């Protein structure tokens, strides 16, 4: 029978609908979306040569000794929020509260190449993207009116983007949602009750149980969470306590770049390049030094549709057990390693 | 510039992104999804003749004096939740809380005809659907373990359904989401502070302002809410205080059928038959007699995509002002009435 599971980080219940569950391989897409794009598109505002089509950049990493950029961060041309305006609230008819659309909306252009993605980029190029995330986060967090900074990536049309060129986005808002506040409160209460960080406890328990782990490196763990909202939801989290992504040790960035690239590559290979959303969850800017949070990256492949029930009830239905999807990913990854190792051994012996 | 607006019913902020806003007519789809379906499909489990393909029905309305059914309610063949099991919580490793997938999942088959929809059905047929909603709600609410009953409808593939035959669904859960609880708390606090029902106050203010109203009948108001999460989000609400849909005066059902049919028909006509989700919001089963809630129907046309920012931050971005979309709907509806009246006048004068 189906199971209701409570997400230990949000206390929201999720339905794991086993009666309508599909087996993990059934989520593999029939065919890949053709993503045959040119290396450069003259009409793309993010391609080299078209820099004037974006607002002036706020950050640029260039190849040492050249003028060629590798990563650019620019304000969004059609920003959801803008740094003009104030955060004072207005109330109309004692009921309708509003404020200026104050905030920041930036685009992180991840590569000069039009047709790559994090899954296909080199590790050092992914490192630069992560450095850009950190640098922009740290630059913006000093503004006390920006309460919450979300760094995210929409990959593919069903994930909400129409732009092919590899990019992430950053939106800094003057308010945090109640969902974010409850997440913070849940971990603060846990810390108060136990003296431990909820996320550390969660990660260590996952590592002990070994039921939902996809991959473990020296510094990071990749797993499918207990109360996944959708099939193949994937978390990447540091094994050692790190409340804020922007304050995490810089010498761990190369290791994070590897695990992020490898995780997205495994998802692309196993599930046949699905659209996905990626979100960096980190402590709110006001609580960066509080010790009840661990930053983590959440990847949500768009394999199912959120529908009326979720919208109405706030309860999500997932049609796969995370234990099964994690086992499936482990098998597929180790099978592909066996093939590679065999090929490597052949190459080494000259066979 | 953009605006942040707080939803008075949930206290969540929404971004109305005017910089990236589209004008209302730009949401009209280029072409309608072809929905050319036969009147009857021999392979459809909801078509007459195939009744044995669904579990035994829990409710049937038949044409007086015949055995032909008009509305059937059946348990879902692949239920997300089932009435077997208990609501006792289990906790694994002091962290992972779960319970049996206890609950009810039913399908309301709205018509024997395969290719109609509420937008194209006759008023009296829509009435029967609403009666079925009420009857099932009232039958299930007596079970104290069912804390929340969601009645909803997914229309079209992007709204989460693959079944063409007109149907709604009901899912009763043993838990309510924190979103639902916050909604209740918000209105309870308002009632405590003011002595009034928040929803009554909201509806009367909307009626006074006349900025976001699409339609007003003797008993109901149709409007686009102040902090719409997505363009053309539409609410249908009773003008007079009615906490619970299932307890609302039965003699208002014909009027509700009219306004629901007309609203869905207007959306289908103006926006060219978009996919949509419909959700009935009513007081939680435990609070049905509390007077701080008004039931309402929320319709969300699937015109935009929820992406990484919304998932990560819990804050929604809408790309249209509800004042503009409501005005657009009013104009389109009155234009089509003028055409109809002119045609009627011509017919009457024999011209």
Which residue spans within chain B are E strands per DSSP? 3-6, 13-16, 59-62, 69-75, 90-92, 96-100, 104-109, 148-155, 167-173, 213-216, 220-223, 234-238, 276-281, 296-301, 316-318
Separation of alpha carbons A146 and A295, rounded Å: 18
- The better pLDDT of the pair A145, A293 is held by A145
DSSP for residue A82: B
| Band of pLDDT at residue B37, cut at 50, 70 and 90 | very high
B233 chain-A contacts, CB cut-off 8 A: none
Question: Measured between CB atoms, which of B15, B97, B308 is closest to A160?
Answer: B308
What's the mean pLDDT in B99-114? 97
| Three-state DSSP class for residue A42 | coil
DSSP for residue B97: E
| Band of pLDDT at residue A221, cut at 50, 70 and 90 | very high
Q: Are B308 and A279 in contact (CB under 8 A)?
A: yes
In Å, how far is B123's CA from the nearest CA of chain A? 23
> What integer pLDDT is reported at residue A122 of this predicted model?
97
> What integer pLDDT is reported at residue A290 of this predicted model?
74
Separation of alpha carbons A113 and A135, rounded Å: 22
Above 70 in pLDDT, residue B348? no
Above 70 in pLDDT, residue A349? no
- Give the helix ranges, DSSP H, for chain B: 123-140, 178-194, 198-209, 253-270, 308-313, 322-349
B226 contacts A4? CB cut-off 8 A? no
> What integer pLDDT is reported at residue A348 of this predicted model?
59
A311 contacts B306? CB cut-off 8 A? no
Q: Are B129 and B152 in contact (CB under 8 A)?
A: no
A152 contacts B309? CB cut-off 8 A? yes
Query: Cα separations (Å) of A193 from A17, A190, A197, A239, B18?
Result: 32, 5, 10, 22, 45
What's the mean pLDDT in B236-242? 94
Q: Which residues pair with A109 in a beta bridge?
A: A72, A167
> What integer pLDDT is reported at residue A19 of this predicted model?
76
A20 chain-B contacts, CB cut-off 8 A: 78-80
| Three-state DSSP class for residue A101 | coil
> What integer pLDDT is reported at residue A141 of this predicted model?
94
Above 60 in pLDDT, residue B297? yes
Above 70 in pLDDT, residue B140? yes
Question: Measured between CB atoms, which of A15, A205, A277 is closest to B308?
Answer: A277
A44: number of Cβ within 10 Å:
18
Residue A340 parent element (H or E): helix A322-349
A93 contacts B313? CB cut-off 8 A? no
Name which of A125-129, A329-333, A338-342, B289-293 the model is least confident about. B289-293
Best of A107, A189, A228, A311 to mutate (most B CBs within 10 Å, chain B): A311
> What integer pLDDT is reported at residue A61 of this predicted model?
97
A351: number of Cβ within 10 Å:
6
Cβ within 8 Å of residue A322, ≥6 positions away = A16, A212, A223, A224, A225, A226, A228, A233
A209 contacts B19? CB cut-off 8 A? no
| Band of pLDDT at residue A347, cut at 50, 70 and 90 | low
Question: Measured between CB atoms, which of B82, B100, B311 is closest to A279?
Answer: B311
What's the mean pLDDT in B171-176? 96
> What integer pLDDT is reported at residue B174 of this predicted model?
96
A312 contacts B280? CB cut-off 8 A? yes
| Band of pLDDT at residue B351, cut at 50, 70 and 90 | very low
Best of A315, A316, A317 to mutate (most B CBs within 10 Å, chain B): A315
Which residue of chain A has the CA closest to B319?
A80
Above 90 in pLDDT, residue B169? yes
In Å, how far is B177's CA from the nearest CA of chain A? 5
DSSP codes, A243-272: S-GGGS-GGGHHHHHHHHHHHHHHHHHHTT
In Å, how far is A230's CA from the nearest CA of chain B? 12
Above 60 in pLDDT, residue B335? yes
Above 50 in pLDDT, residue A105? yes
A205 contacts B102? CB cut-off 8 A? no
- For A90-102, the pLDDT digits (tens) are 999 889 999 999 9
What's the mean pLDDT in B250-271? 97
Name which of A56-65, B125-134, B264-273, B288-297 the model is least confident about. B288-297
Best of B16, B80, B191 to mutate (most A CBs within 10 Å, chain A): B80
Q: Are B332 and B272 in contact (CB under 8 A)?
A: no
| Band of pLDDT at residue A40, cut at 50, 70 and 90 | very high
Separation of alpha carbons A295 and A314, rounded Å: 24
B208 contacts A93? CB cut-off 8 A? yes
| Band of pLDDT at residue B292, cut at 50, 70 and 90 | confident
| Three-state DSSP class for residue A7 | coil
> What integer pLDDT is reported at residue B349 of this predicted model?
56
> What integer pLDDT is reported at residue B166 of this predicted model?
98
| Band of pLDDT at residue B285, cut at 50, 70 and 90 | confident
Average per-residue pLDDT in chain A?
93
Separation of alpha carbons B1 and B15, rounded Å: 11
Catalytic residues of A: 167
- Which entry of B105, B167, B224, B296 is annotated as an active-site residue? B167
> What integer pLDDT is reported at residue B33 of this predicted model?
65
Separation of alpha carbons A9 and A7, rounded Å: 5
Q: Are B328 and B213 in contact (CB under 8 A)?
A: no
What's the mean pLDDT in B235-255? 93
B85 contacts A175? CB cut-off 8 A? no
| Band of pLDDT at residue A32, cut at 50, 70 and 90 | low
B148 chain-A contacts, CB cut-off 8 A: 313
Domains and CATH numbers, chain A: 3-343 (3.30.428.10)
């Amino acid at each position: 029978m189906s199971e209701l599971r409570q997400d230990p980080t949000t206390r929201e219940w999720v339905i794991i609908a086993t009666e309508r569950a599909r087996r993990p391989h059934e989520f593999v897409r029939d065919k890949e979306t053709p993503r045959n794009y040119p290396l450069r598109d003259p009409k793309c505002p993010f391609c080299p040569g078209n820099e004037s089509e974006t607002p002036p950049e706020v950050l640029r990493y260039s190849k040492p000794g050249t003028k060629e950029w590798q990563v650019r961060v620019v304000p969004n041309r059609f920003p959801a929020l803008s740094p003009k305006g104030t955060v004072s609230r207005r109330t109309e008819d004692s009921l309708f509260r509003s404020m200026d659309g104050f905030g920041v909306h930036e685009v992180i252009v991840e590569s000069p190449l039009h047709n790559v993605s994090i899954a296909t980029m080199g590790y050092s190029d992914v490192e630069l993207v992560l450095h850009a995330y950190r640098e922009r986060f740290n630059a913006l967090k000093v503004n006390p009116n920006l309460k919450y900074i979300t760094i995210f990536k929409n990959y593919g049309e069903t994930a909400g983007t129409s732009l092919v060129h590899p990019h992430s986005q950053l939106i800094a808002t003057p308010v945090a949602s109640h969902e974010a506040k409850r997440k913070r409160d849940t971990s603060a209460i846990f810390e108060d009750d136990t003296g431990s960080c909820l996320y550390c406890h969660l990660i260590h328990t996952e590592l002990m149980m070994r039921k939902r782990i996809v991959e473990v490196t020296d510094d990071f763990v990749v797993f499918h969470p207990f109360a996944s909202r959708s099939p193949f939801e994937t978390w990447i989290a540091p094994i050692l306590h790190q409340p804020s992504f922007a304050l995490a040790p810089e010498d761990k960035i190369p290791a994070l770049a590897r695990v992020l690239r490898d995780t997205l590559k495994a998802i692309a290979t196993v599930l046949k390049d699905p659209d996905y959303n990626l979100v960096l969850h980190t402590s709110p800017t006001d609580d960066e030094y509080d010790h009840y949070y661990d930053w983590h990256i959440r990847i949500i492949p768009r394999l199912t549709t959120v529908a009326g029930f979720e919208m109405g009830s706030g309860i999500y239905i997932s049609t796969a057990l995370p234990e099964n999807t994690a086992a499936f990913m482990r098998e597929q990854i180790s099978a592909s390693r066996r093939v590679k190792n065999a090929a490597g051994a052949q190459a080494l012996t000259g066979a």
